[in-house]
Chain A
């Protein structure tokens, strides 16, 4: 238990969790106050999820990569566990709202978007480091939620705005699964690239 606590603290998980929780709570409170609809729409949900995912994405590397690697633990399992736990936490936080009058629904959309975006973040972390991992999910989300994007039969459109396609759109689901699996594998097997010592200030 103590090791887990130390691991989580070395990844600044408390700060990330606070950020993610407060983002979700803020959006939920705003929706409760300003809309009559019981379901938070796919655009707002995607933006909320991406912010929560980005917050957790900062925990994908420690303060000192080189030092981390000297520890003889099973890193692939630990990293995969970290990612899966993160996905579980975000989904759980989002689903907590289903008992209220403004909820993130449906479950399949929440799961698909969380998995896809977290996979994309993990992929970014494996390629460019945790500090830059937010760029790809953020850009894709901004493109997807633009006002003229919407449910479409065109494959191009379905992929570009997979986040806001209705659940059951095969292309969107496949896109999310591919992102999730690639991200999970890349991050679990490879981890973040080693940064030069001068850049190893903790990312907050």
Chain B
């Protein structure tokens, strides 16, 4: 019997329209910037979760519209006089809304997956978990919206609820994160753990990271509690039932909040060891990328080997393999790694190139020059970045390519001049001396001795 009601509700209620609206808005927003997730399942899951910023308010508004239906058609008194318990009547409508919003969310994910499948070679199961939590949050929002629509049956309820929902999920996490301007140095405040009760991921995730399953389970617990509250409120008759209905949400929050980690998204993220594994191309000098970026390997092999060949031609003990950096981006680390592992001298490490809208690498004109800097780069940890060290690297790269240094964008004319002078001074030396100096500078850089690297600059600079 319930099944038939459910089918009728799905066919004839506003649930279909709500799902269609959410599908169109969500897909349009997600596909407007495919470069953020193309080729990466976890990024797709997280980006779909950040679309909740619009989808959750729409689910709330849609629920409120549906919850107000009986008053709008002036049948609430008629229905209240039937002998069936209220929840018999409520469950098919609530079920139809839940099916509709979940379908819309999953369809948004699947449509956008068209930009992931062609270039992806790694599918983490956590992506499914993250997506399920997002779908569940829409159910909770829809049911809470229905309860609100029933309690205050006015046209303005739905839009007001949507705006309040937007403020809660879209703006509140930003507000608690804003830098404390009164502090001496503006720092991002550590996000409180309660931020993770909001299912929107506003912080973003590094490609090598994944959302810890334990956090997803805690979020599931809280959202199930919230959805239960919504459903109970919707079917509550009388004051006591209404008060009791709030209990699950309060309990859910009370259990989940102490167990959630501080730090919002960054606290919920961890390095995915499988995603960070190296995948190598060994036909020639070895070129390796992380598994999550395996799709980029064919694009990168060419320039990487070209750079290795240029190094082999000039540098004694030249590096023989190029490896993508396995470091998580600085902004994604909760506690910055002060002593990252150093790499071997026979290896150059390059950063992930920009990923384009179709999931292929967008190799800009400065990708090869950045590879030529790499032999003099080492992960030395905090406080090791000297401006002069970069200057020395630019000069060294210019020596490798045999052309005067081209100033990177944003350089002062003074620095450009320094680089030119240093390069000319270096080229004036006999070739054997040039090679000796560059090799010494490289040894120093690999050992994190900044002074040794600076030795290639003329006296007045260093």
Chain A residues with a Cβ under 8 A of chain B? 19, 23, 47, 50-51, 54-55, 58, 131, 134-135, 138-139, 142-143, 145-147, 156, 160, 198-199, 201, 203-204
Contact = CB atoms under 8 A, between A and B. Distances in A.
A55 B57 contact: no
28 contacts: A47-B163, A50-B159, A51-B156, A51-B160, A51-B163, A131-B155, A134-B159, A135-B21, A138-B158, A138-B162, A139-B25, A142-B54, A142-B162, A143-B25, A143-B54, A146-B53, A146-B54, A146-B170, A147-B53, A147-B174, A156-B32, A199-B72, A199-B73, A201-B71, A201-B73, A203-B72, A203-B155, A204-B155
A139 B156 contact: no
A142 B57 contact: yes
Interface size classification for chain B:
20 to 34
Given A147-B174, A199-B72, A204-B154, 12 more contacts: A47-B163, A54-B156, A131-B155, A134-B159, A138-B162, A142-B54, A142-B163, A143-B54, A198-B73, A201-B72, A201-B73, A204-B155
A55 B159 CA distance: 9
Contacts of A51: 156, 159-160, 163
Nearest to B29: A143
Contacts of A198: 73
Nearest to B158: A134
Given A135-B21, A142-B54, A147-B171, A201 B74 contact: yes
Contacts of A156: 32
Interface string B26-64: 000100100000000000000000000110011001000
A147 B170 contact: yes
A123 to B, nearest CB: 16
Interface string B394-413: 00000000000000000000
B160 A134 contact: no
B173 to A, nearest CB: 9
Interface string B149-183: 00001111011101100100011001000000000
B229 interface: no
Nearest to A141: B163
A23 B159 CA distance: 12
Contacts of A204: 153-155
Nearest to B157: A204
Given A142-B57, A143-B25, A146-B170, A54 B73 contact: no
Nearest to B22: A139
Contacts of B202: 147
Nearest to A139: B25
Contacts of B159: 50-51, 54, 134, 138
B203 to A, nearest CB: 12
Nearest to A149: B29
B61 A138 contact: yes
Contacts of B25: 139, 143
Contacts of B54: 139, 142-143, 146
Contact of B58 (A55, A58, A142, A145): A142
Contacts of B163: 47, 50-51, 142
A192 to B, nearest CB: 14
A139 B74 CA distance: 28
Nearest to A160: B32
A134 B65 CA distance: 11
Nearest to B74: A201
A20 B430 CA distance: 82
Nearest to A130: B155
A131 B58 CA distance: 16
Contacts of B58: 139, 142
A58 B160 CA distance: 14
Contacts of B174: 147
Contacts of B158: 134, 138
A54 B29 CA distance: 24
Contacts of B61: 138
Nearest to A20: B156
Interface string B186-230: 000000000000000010000000000000000000000000000
A160 B29 CA distance: 10
Contact of B155 (A23, A50, A58, A147): A58
Residue in B154, B160, B163 with the greatest tally of chain A CB atoms within 10 Å:
B163
A182 B226 CA distance: 42
Given A139-B58, A143-B25, A199-B73, A58 B166 contact: no
Contacts of B21: 135, 139
Contact of B156 (A19, A142, A146): A19
Residue in B25, B53, B159, B171 with the greatest tally of chain A CB atoms within 10 Å:
B159
Residue in A131, A139, A142 with the greatest tally of chain B CB atoms within 10 Å:
A142
Interface in B129-164: 153-156, 158-160, 162-163
A142 B55 CA distance: 10
Given A135-B21, A139-B25, A145 B156 contact: no
Interface string B58-97: 1001000000000111100000000000000000000000
Contacts of A199: 72-73
Contacts of B74: 201
Contacts of B162: 138, 142
Given A135-B21, A143-B29, A55 B73 contact: no
A54 B166 contact: no
A131 B69 CA distance: 12
B245 to A, nearest CB: 25
A199 B69 CA distance: 10
Contacts of A143: 25, 29, 54
